[in-house]
Amino acid sequence: MEITNVSEYEAIAKQKLPKMVFDYYASGAEDQWTLQENRNAFSRILFRPRILIDVSKIDMSTTVLGFKISMPIMIAPTAMQKMAHPEGEYATARAASAAGTIMTLSSWATSSVEEVASTGPGIRFFQLYVYKDRNVVAQLVRRAERAGFKAIALTVDTPRLGRREADIKNRFTLPPFLTLKNFEGLDLGKMDKADDSGLASYVAGQIDRTLSWKDVKWLQTITKLPILVKGVLTAEDTRIAVQSGAAGIIVSNHGARQLDYVPATISALEEVVKAAQGRVPVFLDGGVRRGTDVFKALALGASGIFIGRPVVFSLAAEGEAGVRKVLQMLRDEFELTMALSGCRSLKEISRDHIVADWDTPRTQPRYTPRL
Ligand code: FNR
């Protein structure tokens, strides 16, 4: 059957993938309240479209950290993509560069930074998990830099792994024929089976729970790459991130896989944008499945968005062609949304083009019926 929107890939992935893998990709933490809310919150934001504007030419291009891309739609880091498709991260990298946009490679990729770089040109960011062993971190950052990655997305919401019950039930672990390739030579590339989630045990063993703001400063001493802080949800942390030298902020709840009952990212976005005061760009990920979602995020002040699950689901369904199609469908929908709301370039998208459920009524009723 013909695919007409991004969300349709999930059902196909479910049919194709082993249950353990599909559940790992699809799940959120605990009650999965935030998982639903990441989607639901978009539906409580409505448009205030402007009409009779010449929309025969629409420019979706933008610049992120100085890099020109074709649209404000980018790829979030998702771990272990070779579980979805044998080409895994290679396919994602090729699809992103064909679409003229940025791919973020996960620390826990099943392809190394060097392997992904070898797929050809493309603007790529590297997502960093900070291991207890800081030599491992320093080495990895240096390798990413040498392989031509342009920024570090430092994930700050994972001192411990969120409680993902499907992974516990399935005894999730990385299949033995795959490796966390960036750590292969460091003897940290394999994941043991555990009595619960193998990934949760891996995180408990290797990831540094002491990570704090001083480490954001430390990171700047070992790399010249700009640092995006991924996982900010409050104004307070936005201000500290800016003071700590972050080059940008990613409003993210890790696809609802860490702390359950945090707000949808689209609900937290405006608070963060206001606190950033235009000093650094603010990005968003979480639940973006439609071009209208992209527009809403930009109207609330985001400089761009990232998608996570749509990439692994489309990879599972159709490999590189699937990821290309996801990016193309989102691009087409976003362009149509711009046209139908009267915006010809990203700078024309304004807060007045949407109304959110937390807005106070803008106009008093003009007509009072006579009693
Ligand atoms: C993730 N995410 C993630 N984040 C990160 O910083 N490092 C990682 O390795 C991963 N791995 C990962 C695997 C899978 C299967 C998912 C679904 C998510 C979080 C990811 O970068 C992003 O924040 C969310 O996926 C965005 O939400 P959506 O688009 O999946 O709703």
The answer to whether residue 166 is domain-embedded is yes
CA distance 295 to 291: 6
DSSP string, 283-310: EEESS--SHHHHHHHHHTT-SEEEE-HH
User: Which pLDDT belongs to residue 362?
Assistant: 60
CA distance 283 to 101: 14
User: Which pLDDT belongs to residue 195?
Assistant: 86
Ligand 1 centroid, distance to 70 Cα (angstroms): 22
How do residues 227-267 score in pLDDT, each as one tens digit? 999 999 999 999 999 999 999 999 999 999 999 999 999 99
User: Which pLDDT belongs to residue 1?
Assistant: 75
What's at 340, amino acid-wise? Answer: L
Count up the domains in the chain and report the number: 1
The answer to whether residue 367 is domain-embedded is no
CA distance 215 to 212: 6
The answer to whether residue 204 is domain-embedded is yes
Torsion sign over Cα 77, 78, 79, 81: negative
Ligand 1 centroid, distance to 299 Cα (angstroms): 23
Q: Which helix (H) or strand (E) holds 154?
A: strand 151-155
Q: Which of 85, 150, 181, 254 is catalytic?
A: 254
The answer to whether residue 130 is domain-embedded is yes
User: Which pLDDT belongs to residue 359?
Assistant: 95
Half-sphere exposure of 93 (CA within 13 A, CB side): 27
- Domain with 218, as residue range(s), is 6-355
Q: What share of the chain is helix, strand, coil (3-state, %, to 5)?
A: 45, 15, 40
Give me the tens of pLDDT residue by residue for the chain, a chain 371 residues long: 799 999 999 999 999 999 999 999 999 999 999 999 999 999 999 999 999 999 999 999 999 999 999 999 999 999 999 999 999 999 999 999 999 999 999 999 999 999 999 999 999 999 999 999 999 999 999 999 999 999 999 999 999 999 999 999 999 999 999 999 999 988 899 898 888 999 999 999 999 999 999 999 999 999 999 999 999 999 999 999 999 999 999 999 999 999 999 999 999 999 999 999 999 999 999 999 999 999 999 999 999 999 999 999 999 999 999 999 999 999 999 999 999 999 999 999 999 999 999 998 765 556 666 76
Does residue 289 have its Cβ closer than 6 Å to ligand 1? Answer: no
How far CA 134 is from CA of 151, 245, 302, in Å, comes to 19, 20, 32
CA distance 32 to 255: 10
The answer to whether residue 362 is domain-embedded is no
Residue 102 has which token pair? 């940025």
Does residue 158 have its Cβ closer than 6 Å to ligand 1? Answer: no
CA distance 277 to 229: 16
CA distance 77 to 108: 9
Give the number of the atom of ligand 1 that is nearest the alpha carbon of residue 286.
27
Q: Which helix (H) or strand (E) holds 142?
A: helix 134-146
User: Which pLDDT belongs to residue 62?
Assistant: 98
Q: Which of 280, 281, 141 is nearest to 224 (CA)?
A: 141
The answer to whether residue 27 is domain-embedded is yes
CA distance 114 to 112: 5
CA distance 174 to 16: 17
Ligand 1 centroid, distance to 340 Cα (angstroms): 31
| 169 among annotated binding-site residues | no
254 is catalytic: yes
Judge whether 140 and 216 are in contact, CB under 8 Å. Answer: no
| 32 among annotated binding-site residues | no
Q: Which helix (H) or strand (E) holds 217?
A: helix 213-222
User: Which pLDDT belongs to residue 222?
Assistant: 97
The answer to whether residue 320 is domain-embedded is yes
| 288 among annotated binding-site residues | yes
User: Which pLDDT belongs to residue 361?
Assistant: 72
How do residues 177-210 score in pLDDT, each as one tens digit? 999 999 998 889 989 888 899 999 999 999 999 9
User: Which pLDDT belongs to residue 369?
Assistant: 66
The CATH number of the domain where 252 resides is what?
A: 3.20.20.70
| 265 among annotated binding-site residues | no
Give the number of the atom of ligand 1 that is nearest the alpha carbon of residue 24.
15
The answer to whether residue 361 is domain-embedded is no
